[in-house]
Amino acid sequence: GTILVNDQFLDRVNGTVDIEDRGYQFGDGVYEVVRVYGGKMFTAEEHLTRLFESAEKIFLKLPFTLEELTARLEKLMDDNQLDTGIIYLQVTRGASSRQHHFPQEQNAVLTAYTKEVARPVKDMSAGVKAITTPDVRWLRCDIKSLNLLGNLLAKQEAVSKGGFEAILHRDETVTEGSSSNIFIISNNTMYTHPATNLILNGITRREILKHCANIGLQVAERPFTLDELKNADEAFMASTTAEVMPLTSINDELIANGAPGNWTRKLQEAFETGVEKECGA
């Protein structure tokens, strides 16, 4: 397959990164995962705009415009004949001799590749299990950075316990998932953590908030506790790859009757309509 390195389209085997690339050595970079349905990027502008916002927050100047980046990703998708899957892209501060502070010369390195990834239809229908674990990450979770060790350790804990996602909490307050945002619905109102420095403001999260109004679901963008999570009528997670994913149990305790809730189903349908509208898939 073809990959993108800066403005070069290379065969995958020729993709190389300098051993002193700051993304490789320090995680000094930002990334995005864009979903593709029927050969069309979904919410590309939102994702790529967020990439620029993340880069700005780490004082990384991107050596291309949003339009140039979009055109390169379109070509990458076409070269690989991507139908349903993802485009993974990241930008690092480039290679320079190892020092913590920024080098004078910043030659940012963009890399991107495509991957066929089927939609998680079975899991979206049946729902998945989650565990909870303390959120020990830093306080700039709003930046979609390559610093993912906190996320990886949490996800690994979930998977080692047979779970799909780890729900993170600071003291008793739920923040988000290791690679998703978390929502509950109780008494016909949806709750989710506000978009502060403690969570990544997910693109899927923003799509869901838009759909709530259309389906008549009240929204309270306020933090909720582990107790509220356990006693919720419905719970779900959302991300580019998981879409709207019902949560049926937390630490092996059922949420309500253990079946995906009605409001969650309505949001799945609304999300699906949005995909069809934008990607015609």
Secondary structure of residue 281 in the 3-state scheme: coil
Q: How many CA atoms lie within 13 A of 209 on its CB side?
A: 17
Query: Catalytic pick from 40, 144, 161, 266?
Result: 144
Active site residue 75: no
Contacts of 101 (CB under 8 A, 6+ apart): none
Span near ligand DCS by CB under 6 A; candidates 10-18, 75-83, 154-162, 235-243? 235-243
SS3 state at 242:
coil
Is residue 30 part of the contact set for ligand DCS (CB under 6 A)?
Answer: no
Q: What are the residue ranges of helices labelled H in the chain?
A: 22-26, 44-57, 66-79, 121-126, 149-160, 203-215, 226-230, 262-279
Shortest distance (Å) from residue 174 CB to ligand DCS: 12
Q: Could you tell me how many residues of this chain bind ligand DCS (CB under 6 A)?
A: 15
Closest approach of Cβ 205 to ligand DCS, in Å?
Answer: 6
What are the backbone angles phi and psi of residue 247, rounded to the nearest 5°?
-105, 120
CB of 39 to ligand DCS, least distance (A): 19
Q: Closer to ligand DCS at the Cβ: 133 or 180?
A: 180
| Residue of 113, 111, 110 lying closest to 60 (CA atoms) | 110
Binding mask 204-233 for ligand DCS (x = CB under 6 A): xx----------------------------
Question: Which residue among 90, 92, 179, 264 contacts ligand DCS (CB under 6 A)?
Answer: 179
Q: Which of residues 240-279 bind ligand DCS (CB under 6 A)?
A: 240-241
**Angle made by CA atoms 236, 274, 204, in degrees to the nearest 5:** 40
Which one, 95 or 202, has the nearer CB to ligand DCS?
202
Site of tokens 């898939």: 281
DSSP state of 58: T
Query: What residues are labeled active site?
Result: 144
Contacts to ligand DCS by CB under 6 A:
33, 151, 176, 179-181, 200, 202-205, 238-241
